[in-house]
A and B are shown apart, each in its own frame.
Chain A
Amino acid sequence: MYQSQKSMALGGQPPKALSSLQKVAVSMGVLGLLILVLATFQVELPQKSLWLSLALGGIGGGVILFSAAAYGNKSAGIKNDGVWFKSISSRGLWAWVFGVLLTGFYIILYFFPALIGLREDAANVGLIALFDPFSKALSGNPASQWFVYGVLYTLAILAFGFKFLWKYRHSRYEKLRTISVMFFQTAFAFLIPEFMARLNGKGFSLPYYDLKNIWPLNYYNFEQYRVDDFISAGTVGVALLIFGIVSILVITPILTYKYGKRWYCSWVCGCGGLAETAGDSFRQLSDKSTFAWKVERWVVHSVVVFVVLMTTAVIYTYLGYDPEKYWLTKDLFLLLVGGLLSLVFAWVMIFKRQELEKDAQYAAIGYMVIIASLIGIHFFSGNDLFLFQAETLRSSYGFLIGSIFSGVIGTGFYPIFGNRVWCRFGCPMAAILGFQQRLFSKFRITVNGGQCISCGNCSTYCEMGIDVRAYAQKGANIVRSSCVGCGICAEVCPRGVLKLENDSLDGRINPKDVLLGNDVDLMDYVNQK
């Protein structure tokens, strides 16, 4: 049911004002969902492919038709009428119902896949069995709960992506980046890994690899079984492994330098993709208080420290097993990690100290914790990091961050906390890209002179909870590590005050005490004080 409620309210109209076309759309969606529910309760559906096509077509088609009906006959422009009147988009009853259902779905998916029909040693049943033929057609293997999730996820990005395209059809920036996330999700996250799995066999087995899913978001990328697989798959595998390392160390810094972290977070990433499309109706729910900002910085950077340590410990463990096979020994590896971090830290402290201001202390704390732990790993040796086994670290990370945070809370709570909770508070990738964006990127949101009227639309609709207005009304450009460059602040600003752009590093951060429009040179006084 929740899907239909969702589509009902997402169209920019209160449910009671549904047009007849929208009623058709809602029925399509409900029927599609009904098929999935019937399958879950193991109602026998003979022609599986047909029923699955009907279900997916019904849901996807329903959402698309609904949006076309909602926006098609309206002029191009901002469509936020009634956002705070509608139950679903203003934390009303429907929001809670939807949130609980979504959370329930994630809990089943992560922890009780048997409930939707996953069987270890026998043929799948129920919902997962419904997806078997589709999965076999792609990869040759039966479906898993992850395949079901992948299909629904991709469907959500495509269908709601279409809705987003309609809603923002006046803006080429929004259209391009939405087409981009729709493409990356379908091709890179969904199809390519399935096809790669098809190549496997006869001693050649590539791990499931979504190329755009970069460590540390892809926190398991360097685990032993994957690295073994990569290496045993020969040149292609090694190339992929190297690509994985180069991605985070070389490719991301370069792209972030040129375009800001938006190149990833709102043009490529799947989590971002879902947030921007299916989550678009919830962006106004993010918390803008300075308190939330403080929490954000502590939590997200702790996750970075956690993932660095966890990955180091895990790699360290298996390096020990086979000193002949890897040129990389345990100690050399620790030295490399420590050396790299020290280089980055030194560079920041020498060149960027002022820009970091108070955050420099936090950076220092994080750095010390990691270095101390590295030394700890070395001396206590064994496979323990103090009291914890590397494997325990890994599985707790997987459980706490990978499942609970990114899935259950991150997506399940869309209707309550907004659509980017994970990206803001939990994603280590976003934190690292944010660090790059804050310190060395050409990207900024330029504020247009003294034009801001402090109305608050920008802050309200910033999904990352950035108080954009606080900068705009001072005439200061927005250079914030958390900004994902979605561009919505610039869309909703009724005075055209904001512009996302890449420009030179000079004058990127420009606090102005006195705004344009006043001819007195008050800046002199300000500087004198």
Chain B
Amino acid sequence: MSQKVVIIGNGIAGVTAARHIRKFSDKEILIISAESEYFFSRTALMYIYMGHMKFEHTQPYENHFWKKNNIQLLQAFVANIEVNSKKLITQNGEEIAYDQLILATGSQTAFRGWEGENLNGVQGLVNKQDLELLEKNTQNIKKAVLIGGGLIGVELAEMLHTRKIDVTILIRESGFWGNVLPQQDAQFISRHIEKHGVEILEETELDKIIGDKNNQVNAILTKDGKEISCDFVGICTGVQPNIDFLKNSGIETNRGILVNKYLETNIKDVYAIGDCAEQKEHPTHRKSIEAVWYVGRMMGETLAQTICGNLTTYQPGHWYNSAKFFDIEYQTYGSVLANAEEDIGDFYWEDLKHEKAVHIQYAKADETFLGINTFGIRMRHEVIDEYLSRQMKLQEVISNLKKANFDKEFSRKYEKQIQAAFNEIYSKVT
């Protein structure tokens, strides 16, 4: 009898694992997931609300794909795991046995225990049900306040903006996403967002959310005593792993499900990947929980090897990520820190129209290139990745930026301006 692999969660992590296991083996594969019948792209939720796509467009595979590849699907919520008898129990009481179990349960909105966070009209945006709720909560409203910036915050702001809803964002730092972006970049983005008519209140924290007698939100109060009336509050202060149902299972958790470098949990034959996994040991340049799309995918690719008998270490390469702030595309490669230590140097360039920017960090000691943020300029992943691996020097990177450019044909080129700006600074320093 072939072995049965059960995967909880049909997100990018679980589905990638399933696809790769199918590629290398004929094991029985079952994916159980509660949120939706088929895999869809969570990253595209905003486009459904804005009318760019319908829900079915966000499903990367046609419905017949699963059957054709002999991957079974079950829409159900797993309530319990009995690791000793190797079985799962769903909310409906159905028992399902497994030989190997992959937990790929993703994240949920992180509420921080504010007063009033349970009022109607207060919500986060992580899953399909949130989107449906958002559609309901934002019918005919005028004013929304978002708590926290970040990537979900800016997406939510753009979404509400298309429905002509007035948006104010409270952020703790002095620039947008300031806990990740260096000051100049954060302020560059703040200005761009504000240009679209979204108000950003910097260095402002939420004290509590105030409701009316129908339990409907009607204002928020900031810590410095300012009251803002509103009919919607979006919680964008981050996400946390979906692990509540594991409480009594014996599977070791902290913030997420703890895994070693092979993505194994403390229990034999139980693994965790994607947003819900927390790595006990991880490369110094990476975090223990990385809730991004690519990580889910890479973990899925890696774990499939192990499951198919090829014990493989999870070894992510150079960090990269990308996002879009209204009209400005952002890409990052390597390490660009918000609060870099003294021994790290910065090179920042912005065009005259304030639509493009580049931020490079390097080791001051020997000018080794550490990472780059680009705004409104696309970089060729492979090339920049190679620059990082080769530990290129700052100057060389600057003079080879053109080779790394990935902008559309006929786009304006900025390398000369960047080089000139660099030369000017450099000549002063040396």
- Contact for A517 among B47, B196, B320, CB less than 8 A: B320
Partner of A494, one of B298, B302, B320, B324: B324
Given A81-B50, A82-B51, A83-B51, verify A514-B409 contact (CB < 8 Å). Answer: no
| Chain B window 298-309, contacts with chain A (Cβ cutoff 8 Å), 1 for yes, 0 for no | 100110010000
Interchain residue pairs with CB less than 8 A apart (20): A75-B195, A75-B326, A81-B52, A81-B162, A176-B410, A448-B406, A450-B298, A451-B322, A453-B43, A494-B324, A495-B331, A496-B329, A499-B406, A500-B409, A501-B409, A513-B23, A516-B381, A518-B301, A518-B316, A525-B312
A455→B315 contact, CB < 8 A: no
Q: B53's closest neighbor in chain A, by CB? A: A460
User: Which chain A residues border B162 with CB–CB below 8 Å?
Assistant: 81-82
- A: interface residue count bin: 35 or more
B331, A496: Cβ atoms under 8 Å? yes
Within 8 A of B (CB), among A434-449: 446, 448-449
Closest CB-CB distance, A186 to chain B, in whole Å?
22
CA distance A246 to B293 in the complex (A): 51
Q: Are B317 and A516 in contact (CB under 8 A)?
A: yes
A456 touches B317 (CB 8 A): no
Determine how close the nearest CB of chain A comes to the CB of B106; give it in whole angstroms.
Answer: 15
Give bound CA distance, A78 to B329, whole Å: 12
Whole-angstrom distance from the CB of B156 to the nearest CB of chain A? Answer: 15
Q: Is the CB of B324 within 8 A of A495?
A: yes
A352 at the binding interface (Cβ < 8 Å): no
Shortest Cβ distance from residue A171 to the other chain B in the assembled complex, whole angstroms: 6
Q: How close is B373's CB to chain A, nearest CB, in angstroms?
A: 13
A496 in complex: contacting residue of B24, B44, B406, CB < 8 Å: B406
Within 8 A of B (CB), among A72-98: 75-78, 80-86
Q: How far is the CA of A23 from the CA of B52 in the complex (A)?
A: 25
Does B12 belong to the interface (CB within 8 Å)? yes
Select A171's contact among B44, B51, B298, B408, beta carbons within 8 Å: B408
Chain A 197-230 interface residues, beta-carbon cutoff 8 Å to B: none
Closest to B405 in A: A499
Asked whether, in the complex, the Cβ of B411 is within 8 Å of the Cβ of A172, the reply is yes
- Cα A522 to Cα B50 in complex, Å, equals 38
Complexed CA–CA distance, A391 and B12 (Å)? 58
Is the CB of B382 closer than 8 A to any CB of chain A? yes
Most chain A C-beta atoms within 10 Å of own C-beta, residue among B60, B293, B317, B323 = B60
The answer, among B43, B305, B312, B326, for a CB contact under 8 Å with A455, is B43
Residues 395-406 of chain A, each 1 if its beta carbon lies under 8 Å from chain B, else 0: 000000000000
> Which chain B residue lies CB-closest to A82?
B51
What size tier do the contact residues of chain B reach? 35 or more
Min distance, Cβ B170 to any Cβ of chain A, angstroms: 24
- Contact check, B297 vs A450: say whether CB atoms are below 8 A apart: yes
Flag A462-484 by CB within 8 Å of B: 1 or 0 each.
Answer: 00000001100100000000000
The answer for the CA separation of A394 and B201 in the assembled complex, in Å, is 71
Known: A456-B44, A456-B53. A517 touches B406 (CB 8 A): no
| Contact in complex: B310, A449 (CB < 8 Å) | no
In the assembled complex, how far is the CB of residue A446 from the closest CB belonging to chain B, in whole angstroms?
8
Beyond A172-B412, A525-B24, 10 extra complex contacts between A and B, CB < 8 Å: A77-B326, A83-B52, A450-B297, A453-B43, A456-B44, A456-B60, A513-B23, A515-B298, A517-B294, A525-B305
Inter-chain contacts of A84 with B (CB < 8 A): 51-54
Question: Is B329 a contact partner of A519 (Cβ separation < 8 A)?
Answer: no
B313-334 CB contacts (< 8 Å) to partner A = 313-318, 320, 322-324, 326-327, 329, 331
B199 to chain A, nearest CB (A): 17
C-beta contact mask, A46-85 vs B, less than 8 Å → 1, else 0?
Answer: 0000000000000000000000000000011110111111
- CB proximity of B198 to chain A, nearest CB, Å: 12
Tell yes or no: B117 within 8 A of A by CB.
Answer: no
Let me know if B327 and A170 touch, CB within 8 A: yes
Contacts of B23 in A (CB 8 A): 513, 529
Q: Is the CB of A82 within 8 A of B50?
A: yes
Q: Is the CB of A449 within 8 A of B385?
A: yes
B327 contact set on A, CB distance < 8 A: 75-78, 170
Distance to closest chain A CB from B291 (angstroms): 13
Q: Report whether A520 and B51 are in contact in the complex, using a CB–CB cutoff of 8 Å.
A: no
Q: B410 — which chain A residues lie within 8 A by C-beta?
A: 172-173, 176
Please give, as numbers and ranges, the residues of chain B lying within 8 Å of A514 by CB-CB distance.
301
What residues on B are CB-neighbors of A448 within 8 Å? 378, 380-381, 406
Instruction: Check: B127 CB closer than 8 A to any chain A CB.
Output: no
Cα distance A276–B331 when bound, in Å? Answer: 30
Of residues 13 to 66 in B, which have CB atoms within 8 Å of A's CB atoms? 23-24, 41, 43-44, 47, 50-54, 57-60, 62
Kindly state the separation between the CA atoms of A459 and B44 in the bound complex, as whole angstroms. Answer: 13
Contacts of B51 in A (CB 8 A): 80-86
A490 is an interface residue with CB less than 8 A from chain B = yes
Q: How far is the CB of A457 from chain B (nearest CB, A)?
A: 6
Give the CA-CA distance A411 to B310 in the complex, in Å. 55
Is B408's CB under 8 angstroms from A500's CB? yes
Which residues of chain A have C-beta atoms less than 8 A from B310's C-beta?
Answer: 525
B196 lies within 8 A of A495 (CB): no
Partner of B315, one of A78, A513, A520: A520
A126 within 8 A of B: no
Residues from chain B with Cβ under 8 Å of A516 in the complex:
317, 381-382, 385
Which of A78, A289, A450, A455 lies in contact with B294, CB distance below 8 A? A450
